Amino acid sequence: MTPKILLIFMLVISPIWPLGENPLVGDPYLIINKSNNEMAFIVNGQIEKVYKVATGKTEVLTPEGEFTIIVKAIDPYYRKKDIIGGAKENPLGTRWVGFDAKETDGRIYGIHGTNDPNSIGMYLTGGCVRMYNEEVEELFSKVPLGTKVYITETDHDFKSIGKQKGAIQ
């Protein structure tokens, strides 16, 4: 293979190829509002669903800004306490959707399920965003790697935030 063909081939199969692009109207987009612990799933320029979530126990634990989903896992392993994926005591639940906050590898900050459904709506995580397992499983199937996640704390509604971020026209 010539170097030029090899380079093109590597770019096409590279898993990071779409990660630097800005979202286009129509692309899936997530907005998490820490002020009310809700997350909007936007697709095709419309808010498809709003989920109740849990966020950081202090204001600074769940980072704010726009991030990119770079890791997805089924029955994630919980490194901090060495708990295997799928175990009932695993606080990450059944799915992990990791994003690149604070220049991490998508394995530190993420949107995940929970083994404690009563925690949803609360401020008690170490920085991640928790969802009910059934809902994170639904979301997991709809958001590809490269999906943008915007986390904020505001009194603005999802529609106005989505317009500002270019996810809604």
Residue 26, token pair as written in the block = 């129509």
Q: Measuring CA to CA, which residue among 163, 111, 102 is closest to residue 140?
A: 111
Q: In this structure, what are the phi and psi dihedrals at residue 72, rounded to the nearest 5 degrees?
A: -135, 135
Q: Is 128 marked active-site?
A: yes
Q: Are 19 and 145 in contact (CB under 8 A)?
A: yes
> Which residue is catalytic, options 97, 128, 161, 167?
128
On the 0-12 / 13-18 / 19+ scale of CB atoms within 10 A, 169 is: exposed
Are β-strands 95-99 and 148-152 bridged in parallel, bridged antiparallel, or unpaired?
Answer: unpaired
> Which residue is catalytic, options 34, 95, 112, 130?
112
Beta bridge partners of 50: 40
Q: Is 156 marked active-site?
A: no
Residue 141, token pair as written in the block = 């199937």
In eight-state DSSP terms, residue 101 is G
Residues forming the active site: 112, 128
